[in-house]
Structure 1
């Protein structure tokens, strides 16, 4: 496994319940600030294998961006079950976002 992939998996596994991170934040904390799309691919291909809390990762505006409505609803319900308020498929990054690496280490 490549170091970036391993770091990405560890970071996503460390996102606490009731908090979210953006794809870009995960990429930046894993050492490659321009690799947000790679984070998406890792989530898509490895979430089940590594039991990743994929629902805790949103886009840079705090939006749920999954196109499939059923999957987007699963993400919303998972977040809400952890106490995260989701309004119109959007999460307040100010209230629920991780703002520094220290919050997950």
Structure 2
């Protein structure tokens, strides 16, 4: 990857391409998507991108969660739906609303970026 940040449309395209590849029952975090899309630290921008595709069916948006293993869509009124969709795929949440990222976080095998020591 180059040292320049991708344009907003390039970032959107890269993020959506990655989200489209997340297998059922697996999740990625906003920060992880930003890293793999070539803009580390741009988790909020990824959140804005995902907010734009919610419920469109364009990509499996429900498979993107925050770095704590929780859904971040409750304030949008979609948290219960997102958790329900993930549960239907086999993702379990504990009593605090967290899923086990160590088991459920997906990393593309063909990416240059290897999973960091600390999961994003």
Calculate the TM-score normalised by the size of structure 1.
0.86
Higher relative contact order (CA 8 A, sep 6+): 1
Deviations 1:50-103 (A, max 9, x none): 6221111111111112233841110110000001111232111011111x3217
From the two aligned structures, give the one with the greater strand fraction.
1
Deviations 1:31-66 (A, max 9, x none): 001111011111111344562211111111111122
Q: CA separation in 1, counterparts of 2:57 and 2:36?
A: 19
Q: Which sections of structure 2, spanning at least 5 residues, go unmatched?
A: 1-7, 112-120
What are the equivalent positions in structure 2 for 1:26-41 lying under 5 Å apart? 26-41=33-48
Question: Does 2:97 align with 1:89?
Answer: yes
Q: Which sections of structure 1, spanning at least 5 residues, go unmatched?
A: none
From the two aligned structures, give the one with the greater helix fraction.
1
What are the equivalent positions in structure 2 for 1:1-105 lying under 5 Å apart? 2-49=9-56, 51-68=58-75, 70-87=77-94, 88-98=96-106, 100-102=107-109
Contact 2:53 2:61 in 1 (8 A): no
What RMSD in Å do the two structures reach over aligned CA positions?
2.1
Q: CA separation in 1, counterparts of 2:80 and 2:57?
A: 22
> Number of paired residues?
103
